[in-house]
Structure 1
Amino acid sequence: MGCLRACGEATRIRLLALLVLGELTVKDLTTILGQSQPRISRHLKLLCEAGVIKRYPEGAWVYYRLNESGPAELARRIVAQSRDDDPTLTADHERLAGLRRAKAEEAAAFFAARANNWDKERSLHVPEIAVEEAMRGIVGYKAFDTLLDLGTGTGRLLELFNDQYARGIGIDTSQNMLSVARANLDKAGLQKAQVRQGDIYALPIRPDTADLTVVHQVLHYLEEPFRAISEAARTLRPGGRLLLVDFAPHELEFLREKHAHRRLGFSQEQVERWFADAGLDLVSTNDLAPGAGEKDKLTVTLWLAQDRRVVTDLPVADPTKELA
């Protein structure tokens, strides 16, 4: 009954219809609904108290999203029944799409303006050579068929793992970045690697393609990190691995304000939950913390996960036949 009371109000149904589509901040929701911050915050508080949604503070911001179980299932059914041919909800979704486009364009503009010196900017955090050594170490040195690098940037990872893969594919949204990557690959003579323009939320890659998919320092720019992880998991072959490299939680707000970061790092619990929901098992983690006296630098964390499907040469049993 508490869930029904919490969901049974026009504004709260509008909020739920948006949160079904992903995580949003109070600022996002006030922009879309055209209502005041105190009013929106009150509705969100009631939905949180009913267990329908959860709040996740990140620095000065708070993200809201639907709970993963319990009352949220009822909320999803309520939204599904309310969504069809509702002009208010349709308009809200259109404004959400416009907001996402604006944020994506802002991030793309940031990358484009810095395509030529992005590797230098990365070195302002944990030294890149230490990150690359850790990546090689956590992946191991065995050969494999296909590497997929999401958010390839300058194409550096296609060079880093070139002695292990038979085919490398880099994906990026920025044409400027792709131009830099192509030039770097040509310079290195890596004909077995290629780069493509693509959306990390809708990759131009068939399922069951990659033995290793890497997402290196990309997730903190995204509005919907879990959606990107799910899409990355889709690319894996049975038993394939996903390597995620990003920042541990931090409070450097200037990275959000001046460098287009959407997320101030990711916790172990959060990443492990996302992996599990995407059908992956976390198999290894490595934290690269800054040295003493480097308080302005960030900890880089490496998470290695594996597709749960088992690769086997044994014949599959026919469930229609009775056991002897």
Structure 2
Amino acid sequence: MAEVILRQVRKSFGRVETIHGVDLHIRDREFVVFVGPSGCGKSTLLRLIAGLEDITAGALEIDGEDVTDKTPKERGIAMVFQSYALYPHMTVYENMAFGLKLSKTDKHDIDAKVRAAADTLELGELLDRLPKQLSGGQRQRVAIGRAIVRNPKVFLFDEPLSNLDASLRVQMRIEIAKLHERMNATMVYVTHDQVEAMTLADKIVVLSAGRVEQVGAPLDLYHHPQNLFVAGFIGSPQMNFISCEVLETSPEGATLALPGGGHVLAAVNATALATADRVTLGVRPEHLFHAGADTDQAISGTVEVVEELGESHFLYVRLADGTLLTARAGGDAPQSIDSTVRIGLKGGDCHVFGADGKAMPRLA
């Protein structure tokens, strides 16, 4: 397998630049996920690595070789697309073998590679079937098998699970994770689903408007988002954001005034803040809790919606300033619609973002 290095990679369509100077190092055998909303440039960036789009400026290296101007077949990559792209008149075996036949691989080698890939993907009993006789998950495994037989340096996945239903997506997510572990391969995976990103990736690349917002391990991005965009995108449901005023700063953090009264001491490095500054307080739904009357660090609001999930529930609470807060807790909800609740916050779970949207460093 191989590492992939992007150096100030840019892509323009006419006068419109869509990828803005991306620097990225994908290590050998690493599973890297590009994630972001629709139109953020993640698929375009993947296609630049694949050679399906020309790089306008910058350089791309695969396995230590500059492949910026090389064709896709010269890059040693294999790509799995969102659509299965299987030949309907060919069997599973023929679909998986087709690329090898085009490259004039020996018949015995073709047979060995196809059957080995089929065993890896549990397709051995399906080799004589046509695509129309397969389920969606089986078709996607055939598409992955077609990539495996080429023995590429890098696997590229462009939203491979988006056409599957919810249960199949979970199953295929597990299969892809197991495949990476078995093959120990370099994989680059594109998705708009941050749950897929969190569960599959060794490293996540969060993209917005053609720019890299943050790169890091899944839990690093969850616990230490660098800005409002990453904080709002990573985590499901997304982080709550509350506009607050700084009451006081100290070595212990920033004391913030909460809407409708109350306060919270957020455990962040507050040296860049001053009294009366406006900041954004961020707190995840799972870090909020039902607070008693004796809890100082709490905020009050009116319950607008209750979602019962069985093992947990969500409360959607309207605060005094109009902000809708999402709180998650285990079990059944004791609250009802239109009831007033006090929601507690722990300073160690809080994030604070300045006027520029950047996060204040959290205290250990």
State the TM-score, normalizing by the size of structure 2: 0.28
Structure with more contact order per residue of length (Cα contacts < 8 Å, sep ≥ 6): 2
State the TM-score, normalizing by the size of structure 1: 0.31
The structure with more radius of gyration: 2
- More helix per residue: 1
